Structure 1
Amino acid sequence: MIMLIKRLAMTATVAGIMLTSATPAFASTIGVNNSGVAAAADFSWLGQSTIAGAVLYVRDTACDNNDVYAKLTLYTTAGGPVSSGTWINSSGCNTRRVVNLGTLSVAGRLTGVRITACINDFPPDTCVSSGFLDNPNT
């Protein structure tokens, strides 16, 4: 009987460690808008170097014949910022482009992200960037 109690206590302790050592996923949304363009991204933080289920949206909110574009920038402790690429919406007035970015991982720790939305109007393009969104796992 004592041996069974010791095994149950050991199992409970191991289970407790396994539960507390797992890194939780935190769902996040980041967005920005300016006259003529709006952009947002939804994703989940997974640990210190990955976001998963990332979806980027870029909307043309003006009827001015200018394309709009957006990019999600990941900031890391190794090698500086990493861009998700530039995603253009050239479909016109009040249209939205949806881009499935999937899982994005970086070398080192992912400290946070920022989204930038731009209007392709004249050099330099009119751009607006969000504030920095910290990774809750770092």
Structure 2
Amino acid sequence: MKGLLSRNLRRAVTATVVVSAATLAFTGTASASTGAGTGSGSEVYGSANWTWTLSGMKNINMAVRDTKCDGNPVYVFFEADLGMGTIDPTPYRWNENGCGTTNHWNNLKYNSGTKLSRVRVVVCVDDAGWDTCYRSGWQYNPEA
């Protein structure tokens, strides 16, 4: 009787370990895909990093630095490629504090309302005429 009981206990423990290992293998921990980009010119530097979602980004951190003492404000934003030639600019984040200053924004989010395939970071100087802008390369969404 004692041998039968310990053999059944071993079987039960073994079965539990196998089922637990299989459950962990199939459920696992999801890892979030992240993105980052920078844009810069002689008058401005900007950067951003984020976590991708199927239709946008979350946990966005952005910064823009005025690197030239010319009295012109600078700003940063994203261009989001919504497909079929549609590029959606996100809201501008301004730095009007002058030469050598940096403004930061944290924990922002963006939802395109559709599957988002790629974005790029854009930094600009608000100068005379058309603003002078610099763009990062396209950053592709692995979630889309």
Structure 2 counterpart of 1:106, one-letter code: S
Give the Å deviation of 1:14: 2.6
Report the alpha carbon displacement of residue 6 of structure 1 after superposing the two structures with TM.
4.4
Aligned letter for 2:136? S
- When the two chains are superposed, the root-mean-square deviation of aligned CA atoms in Å is 2.4
Structure 2: which 5+ residue stretches go unaligned? 1-7
Read off the aligned partner of 2:20 and give its amino acid letter: T
Q: Does the 8 Å CA contact 1:78/1:108 hold for their aligned counterparts?
A: no
Bigger-Rg structure (1/2): 2
Deviation at 1:5, TM superposition (A): 4.2
- State the AA in 2 paired with 1:16: A
Q: Say whether the 8 Å CA contact 1:114–1:132 is kept in structure 2.
A: yes
Counting only pairs closer than 5 Å after superposition, residues 34-73 of structure 1 correspond to structure 2 as 34-45=41-52, 47-73=53-79
CA distances 1:49-75 after superposition (whole Å, capped 9, x unpaired):
342221110110000011111112333
Instruction: Classify 1:28/1:90 alpha carbon distance in 2 versus 1 (closer, same or farther; 3 Å).
Output: same
State the match for 1:30 in structure 2: 37
Supply the distance in 1 between the matched residues of 2:21 and 2:84 (Cα, whole angstroms). Answer: 38
Q: Which runs of 5+ in 1 are unaligned?
A: none
Q: How far apart, in 2, do the equivalents of 1:51 and 1:78 lie?
A: 20
Deviation per CA, 1:109-130: give whole Å up to 9, x if none.
2212101111111121111111
- Which of 11, 18, 24 is residue 20 of structure 2 equivalent to? 11
Amino acid at match of 2:101: T
Q: Take 2:20 and 2:61, find their aligned partners in 1: how far apart are those partners?
A: 40
- State TM-score, norm by structure 2: 0.78
CA distance in 1, matches of 2:13, 2:28: 22
Q: Percent identity?
A: 27
Q: Do 2:46 and 2:64's aligned partners in 1 also have CA atoms closer than 8 Å?
A: yes
The 3-state SS of whatever aligns with 2:33 is strand
Q: What is the CA–CA distance in structure 2 between the aligned matches of 1:36 and 1:18, rounded to whole Å?
A: 49
Task: Tell me the amino acid that sits aligned with residue 21 of structure 2.
Answer: A
Paired residues, what number? 135
The letter of the residue matching 1:90 is E
Distance apart, 1:3 and its partner CA? 6.0
Aligned to 2:137: 131
